[in-house]
A and B are shown apart, each in its own frame.
Chain A
Amino acid sequence: MDDLIEDAQPGGNTPEFTVSEISGAVKRTLENTFGRVRVRGEVGRVFKARSGHLYFDIKDDRAVLASVTWRGQLSQLAQLPEEGMEVIATGRLTTFGSQSKYQLNVEELRPAGVGALMAMLEKRKKALEAEGLFATERKRALPFLPEVIGVVTSPSGAVIRDILHRLRDRFPRRVLVWPVAVQGKDCAPQVARAIEGFNALDPGGPVPRPDLLIVARGGGSIEDLWGFNEEAVARAAAASEIPLISAVGHETDTTLIDYVSDYRAPTPTAAAERAVPVRLDLLTWTDQQGARLVRAAGQAVSARRQRLGDVSRALPRPETLTFAARQRLDWLDTRLPSALRAAAAAKRAQLTQAAAVLRPATLRTRVAADRERLDRLAARLDPALARNRRQAESRFQTTAARLTPRPVQRTIRDQARRLADTAARGGTATRATLRQRTERLAAVERLRLTLGYEATLQRGYAVVRDDNNRVLTDKAAAQKATGMDIQFRDGHLTIGAARPSKKPKDTPPEQGSLL
């Protein structure tokens, strides 16, 4: 018993592991038990190593699970982990034996539910909007009638059929379809590459470059449409130089590409309608324009023809222009010969009349008469000269006899008398002025005496002065004075010690400075 008891030491029959053995055992247990698990949590720190492997944490409020996706597995992930994203990761647990750690090898990662997706979409939207990718100024005008339309969508299915059908109805065009997956993890990279690929086409190349792109997909769940929410797709659409219409999902689904596209069509059919005008309408329009053109041109000619007719009717006939002139000419023509004859006859009559009086005897008679007058006047010439001289001489004698100095002397006397008179009047006026001034002076002197204080003395008043000869007018000054001089009408009376001088200029010099 004792042996048995002794043998039964604690742990005595428990097999021993080496560290590597226990590490391998744990690894096997973990991998067998948790060969494929789904873990839901929030993505924490994300780190992509230089080797290409992606390390990240999945956590909840109490625990953290180290996770890894190897480089080769990355392309399988539908969604790359982003910090803060709520995800469901699928994979197997394994250990990192040398460090006594375990981790989840993530093979599949998807956002956990619609809420997480929408939150991520909102975040992307904000980021792209902040970059200005949604700005209205970025939107390009769609071509009125594109020659080639590039469609990025699935080559099979209702969407491309709807688009082609509507295009055919409106305006058949060349359509290039770039086949892409419209859901799943291939969707976003393929759509982005298709948009870039269309833009990269050479306009003159074998494959014509479209002048309008339509990126289209039918309706589906948010997960189905998710590829069109990827940043790569939105950036490719924003960078597209070819105007781009997006038509993803139904009218109520708005994906990220809708914000950056130049026009967002609610459905693929609507995208086709926006892409081309209706050919028949345009044909009708062209016919109408043609008709208007013909009508307007015809009117331009006919209006001018009408005006030409109007104007030419108003134009007089050429012969009527000369009628009046012709008539005047005829009239003058008939009058011309008779007028000449009449004029000649009149002149002849004048000549006859003038010639009748023109005879030599007439001239001789006038010459004889003129000579007789000349002889008469010549005979009177000498006596007339002598008489004129005599008359002038006698006038001179008379005038010379009347020339005496008496009038001059009389003038001198008159002037001398006027001088004396003026001088006498001058003296009288001066004396009168002098007298007047003397009288005024006396009157003023009388006034002065009346107003002066000496006159007051005559009426019984007296003037009191101190010994400095200043007039005292009040009691206080009188009490201060050492002596007083009182002036009455008939003389001075001196009271007290000092005797004032009679006149202010006799004031002693030593007191002069006090004044």
Chain B
Amino acid sequence: MSEETPVEEMSFEEAMRALEAVVAQLESGEVELEKSIQLYERGAALKARCETKLKEAEEKVAAITLDEGGRPAGTTPLDPS
């Protein structure tokens, strides 16, 4: 998986795939003890990353405002209800 990407910069999907791989590797029981501790730590970090991304589930709805030339000038809160 993307070993190069630091966990803190991973997208949810990347973190998810990496976590899946780590769990599968650990569960195979064929990892050295030292390595399994490292894997566990990595798995914990990935899980935290996933949770962070899931907690970021904040809803912000805005409408683009356009200037005279039809270019986006900014946003304005939108309440469509």
Contacts and interface: CB of A to CB of B under 8 A. Distances in A.
A168 B12 CA distance: 18
B59 A207 contact: no
A177 B57 contact: no
Contact of A297 (B20, B37, B64): B37
B80 A161 contact: yes
Q: Which residue among A167, A168, A297 has the maximum number of chain B CB atoms within 10 Å of its CB?
A: A297
A299 B29 CA distance: 8
A293 B26 CA distance: 7
B76 to A, nearest CB: 10
A215 to B, nearest CB: 14
Interface in A163-181: 164, 167-168, 171-179
Contact of A179 (B13, B29, B53, B63): B63
Interface in B22-81: 22-23, 26-27, 29, 31, 33, 36-37, 39-40, 43-44, 47, 50-51, 53-54, 57-64, 70-72, 74-75, 78, 80-81
Contacts of A176: 62-64, 75
Given A161-B80, A303-B29, A177 B50 contact: no
Contact of B59 (A172, A179, A290, A299): A172
B12 A145 contact: yes
B58 A172 contact: yes
Given A176-B64, A207-B72, A300-B33, A155 B11 contact: no
> Binding site of A, secondary structure by majority: helix, strand, loop or mixed?
helix
A114 interface: no
B53 A145 contact: yes
Contacts of B22: 293
B80 A144 contact: no
Nearest to A292: B23
A177 B15 CA distance: 29
Nearest to A300: B36
Contact of B47 (A164, A290, A304): A290
Given A173-B59, A301-B33, A289 B80 contact: no
A160 B54 CA distance: 23
18 contacts: A143-B13, A160-B80, A161-B81, A164-B61, A174-B58, A175-B61, A175-B62, A197-B72, A286-B47, A286-B50, A289-B47, A289-B50, A293-B43, A293-B44, A296-B36, A297-B36, A297-B39, A300-B31
Interface of B: 11-13, 16, 19-20, 22-23, 26-27, 29, 31, 33, 36-37, 39-40, 43-44, 47, 50-51, 53-54, 57-64, 70-72, 74-75, 78, 80-81
Given A286-B16, A297-B36, 9 more contacts: A156-B80, A157-B80, A176-B64, A178-B63, A197-B70, A293-B47, A300-B36, A301-B33, A304-B33
